[in-house]
Amino acid sequence: MTDDEARALIRTTLHQVAPDADLDAVEPGETLQEALDLDSIDFLNLVTGLCESTGFEIPERDYPQLSTLEGAVDYLTGLGSAG
Amino acid sequence: MGDFTMPSLGADMEEGTVNQWLVKPGDEVHRGDIVAVVETEKSTIEIEVFENGVVDELVVEEGETVPVGTVIARLTSETTAATVHSPVLRHLAEQLHVDLSSVTGSGVGGTVTRADVERAGAARVEGAPPGTRPVPQRRGQRHRKAAERATGRTRSSPYARRLASQLGIDVAAVQGSGPGGSVVEADVRRAAAEPAGTGGPMAASVEAAGEVAASSQVGDKQAAMRQAVGALMARSKREIPHYYLSTTIDVAAAVTWLERANLERPVTSRLVLPALLVKATARAVAKVPEMNGFFVDDEFRPSAAVHVGVAISLRSGGVIAPAIHDVDTLALDDLMRALRDLVVRARSGVLRSSEMSDPTITVTNLGELGVESVFGVIYPPQVALVGFGQVGDRVVARDGMVGVRPCLTATLSADHRASDGHRGGRFLAEIDRLLQEPETL
Amino acid sequence: MSAATTPTTAITYREAMREAIREALVRDERVFLMGEDVGRYGGCYAVSLGLLEEFGPERIRDTPLSESAFVGAGIGAALGGMRPIVEIMTVNFSMLALDQIVNNAAALLYMSGGQFNVPLVIRMTTGAGRQVAAQHSHSLEAWYAHVPGLRVLSPATIDDARRMLWPSVCDPDPVIIFEHGQLYNARGELTEDPVTDITSAAIRRRGEDVTIVAFGGTLGPALEASEQLAAQGIEAEVIDLRSLRPLDSETFLASVGRTHRAVVVDEGWRTGSVSAEVAARITEEAFYDLDAPVTRVCSAEVPMPYAKHLEEAALPQPDKVVAAVRQLGG
């Protein structure tokens, strides 16, 4: 998965989970949960959406890597190569 | 029969706009079907129908705003299944092999009378081929079973029927375990505890409704929402003598249990702490029933069912608290599913009428957004609101040792007309106790 | 309540009743006891034993064997300002005084436009279980509970035997007290609680699965059945009606509202009985709370047999109550 694909996937998934959240408002380095007011259920729904789209199972211990937009993009692009 | 009126979807709702009709005249509808999308000041809500029938006429057009109680459509009742017939009538119908649901009532308000059943019985006999004329038989197990097969009617106790109608359960769909296969209280409670069926003919409409919600005028909606929340909260503070309590709960056991449980679970069935908090609250109600119910007509009416309103803040501003039904008996996995589903639908602005109108107690979980404790305002006519603050490591003295453990502050806002502080304290203590045994939740 | 803080005394139902009569005689000089063999013999069931010696023949009066005459005399004395307690040996014999009780005692207040009330207490034995057959064993409480103008009580415990009489003597209108013959030898602790009303039913055992309504002689079997049921995991709530007229329906209706099932136990015959009234009221006022039909356990519809095994078979026994509850399911 390329960087752009990962970014687009996060955007689409996030829109499904929280249509009222604005991804453009997220500053680099800011955590998604804080910037977008995601509660734990929103976040779990986001991770579920990502798992379903990529076909990879994301364990709970990897959640911290997904906390920022950049972190999530890196994580997703690395999924195939690591595996 | 069957005036279908603009429902009240919360104590604060005065009017609603029919955004979209999902049925047209001539359509057959069944109890629980979603027939319209109604926009209130607070949210866009799918409206369910509570009886079976055929849509006769849509009285209110799309886009029209009408007060609560206004007739918005007329239905012809296909059956009177929602009506409770008297035992005498049911017995007579059984003897005459008449299916009560097919009898048109001529009594007051369309109720079926003895004469109606006798007429239907006579018509049935005339229409029957020679030799098949039914003979009224003595009551008996075999006859009863046969009658059930013939009429498709379900024997059920009056209490089971009343409970079923309160819980939105169709008695005919419940497997009876009482005498003669009749449906009794336990069967209805079991049916209520089962996860609600998904989909159905109207499931596709959810997306359509979402579009409608998105296209509505966002600015106006926000202002109206602010106003509606304001009006309701002002009423609450004006009418309800709140008292407030708080306690610190050690959630190490709950957090550890969740981590372990989630290790074995795929992402789709993972659990989060709020599910445990909601469940513990619902279960604690059993010990302190004064927290669960409504204060109406100058008296507290406890509710047997526990429908927990989950306060969900909307990023655009405002807060809504739709209900998850019968949380006390819901399995944790089903509760988790319900919670996720509810949060997504609340975010996209599509909720169901039954979710909006009947929470019996509310839980707010502002802690996830970083506050240590929340002293909430009770949603009238409810009598209690439980708040959970942020989970954080705190220095705790335990068994003479100082340690660091994850804790949160649980608070209770309760109506002094329905309970006293002592009982409120007991309630929080019970929530604490339940959270120490997460595996039992 | 512990024995240390609340002293209690074990006495029999008979002694409790005797103490109650003694209390009334001491507290109010207008009170006297009248009936067949109540004086020299000490009462057919020995309730009044010793009272003649203590209070003298003016106040403990033996009467001829004519129920109509001495109940009529009691009514006259009550009208004349006295507070008579009349004992009728068994409810079967009270039929002979039915005219006096129904046409005079119950009706005079109304017939006189409120001028004459009849402050009379009639005590009578009721019930079977002593092999005295079909002319001494019946439970005809329902006949009296049918009549407006009467208050009908059914003390089933030592406390009620001791404490229901005085408020009855104080009542300005006729009161009928039914004493179940099987209870006289029952022994129990008299509690210190001095307050006893003669209007309300009492919850004798708390439970949430089924309501068992009983009174008088059936309270014992109902409680015994509830213990057997508890062993099977069913918690029964046992209601003692105490007053059969007026009937405190609120208590049993509220209970049915909690348990959703009801079994009524009555030593009377099923047809036209107190249990019929209770069942009807539950159906009228708590229909939508019912999760099963109201069930009754009553005496067999025969004149009470003499033979011990037949008498036992005819009466509502604990196992029949257990079976009735089990049959409700749930």
Are the beta carbons of B371 and B394 closer than 8 angstroms?
no
Mean pLDDT (whole number) for C203-220: 97
Can you give the pLDDT at residue B149? Answer: 45
Q: Where are the domains of chain C?
A: 9-190, 202-327
pLDDT in tens, B220-272: 666 777 777 787 888 888 889 999 999 999 999 999 999 898 888 888 888 88
**Among 2.60.40.60, 2.40.50.140, 2.40.50.100, 2.60.40.10, what is the CATH number of B3-77?**
2.40.50.100
- Distances from the Cα of C40 to the Cαs of C23, C52, C85, in angstroms? 20, 7, 17
pLDDT band at C9 (very low <50, low <70, confident <90, very high): low
Of the candidates C136, C138, C180, C260, the residue annotated as catalytic is C136
Q: Is the peptide bond before A19 cis (omega within 30 degrees of 0)?
A: no
In this structure, which amino acid lies at residue B203?
A: A
Cα gap B254→B259, rounded to integer Å: 9
Please state which CATH number belongs to domain B87-193. 4.10.320.10
Write out the two tokens for C50: 């010793």
- Chain B / chain C CB contacts < 8 angstroms: 37
Query: C263 to chain B, minimum CA–CA distance in Å?
Result: 15
Work out the number of other CB atoms within 10 angstroms of the CB of residue C64.
8
> Cβ-count burial of B142 within 10 angstroms (0-12 exposed, 13-18 middle, 19+ buried)?
exposed
Nearest residue of chain A to residue B346 (CA atoms): A18
CA distance C21 to C157: 16
Q: Which of A22, A39, A54, A56 to mutate to test the interface with B (most CBs of B within 10 A)?
A: A39
Domain limits, chain A: 3-19+31-82
pLDDT tens-digit readout, C265-316: 999 999 999 999 999 999 999 998 999 999 999 999 999 999 999 999 999 9
In chain A, residues 9-68 whose CB comes closer than 8 Å to chain B: 16-21, 34, 36-37, 39-42, 44-45, 47-48, 51-52, 57-60
Neighbours of C280 (CB within 10 A): 11
B248 in contact with A, Cβ within 8 Å: no
Instruction: Check residue B219 and give its pLDDT.
Output: 62
Q: Where are the domains of chain B?
A: 3-77, 87-193, 218-440
Please tell me if residue A82 touches chain B, with a CB cutoff of 8 Å.
no
CATH superfamily of C9-190: Thiamin diphosphate (ThDP)-binding fold, Pyr/PP domains (3.40.50.970)
**Residue C105 phi/psi, 5° resolution?**
-55, -50
What CATH topology corresponds to A3-19+31-82?
Answer: 1.10.1200
CA gyration radius, chain B: 25
Per CB-CB distance under 8 Å, the chain B contacts of C329 are 177-179, 184
> Quick one: pLDDT at residue A11?
85
Q: Does B16 touch chain A (CB under 8 A)?
A: no
Per-residue model confidence (pLDDT) at position B320: 80
| Stretches in chain B below the pLDDT threshold 70 | 1, 11, 78-84, 107-110, 123-153, 194-222, 316, 349, 357, 366-369
**Looking at residue B109, what is its pLDDT?**
60
Q: What pLDDT was estimated at residue A45?
A: 85
CATH, range B218-440 = 3.30.559.10
Give residue-wise pLDDT tens across range C62-121: 999 999 999 999 999 999 999 999 999 999 999 999 999 999 999 999 999 999 999 999
Any catalytic annotation for residue C67? yes
Confirm whether C19 is a catalytic residue: no
pLDDT at B165: 82
Q: Which residues of B touch C288 (CB under 8 A)?
A: 84, 158-159, 161-162
pLDDT tens digits for C250-266? 999 999 999 999 999 99
CB contact under 8 A, B159 and C327: no
* A4: contact with B, CB 8 A cutoff: no
ipTM rounded to 2 decimals: 0.73
Candidates C287, C290, C329; nearest CB to B179: C329
Mark out the alpha helices in B240-351 (DSSP H runs). 252-263, 273-284, 332-348
The answer to whether residue C199 scores a pLDDT higher than 70 is yes
CA B258 to chain centroid, in Å, comes to: 27
Tokens 């409790």, located at residue: C16
- Tell me if chain B has a CB within 8 Å of the CB of C260: yes
Cβ separation of B347 and A20 shorter than 8 Å?
A: yes
CA B377 to chain centre: 22
Residue among B84, B157, B161 whose CB faces C292 most closely: B157
Q: Chains contacting C with at least 3 CB pairs below 8 Å?
A: B
Cβ(C33)–Cβ(C25) under 8 Å?
yes
Please give the Cα distance from C50 to C41 (Å, whole number).
Answer: 9
- CATH code for residues C202-327: 3.40.50.920
B346 vs C185, residue with greater confidence = C185
Q: Which residues of B175-214 are buried (b: 16+ CB within 10 A; e: fewer)?
A: ebebbeebbbbebbbebbeeeeeeeeebeebbeebbebbe
C-beta atoms of A51 and B267 within 8 A: yes
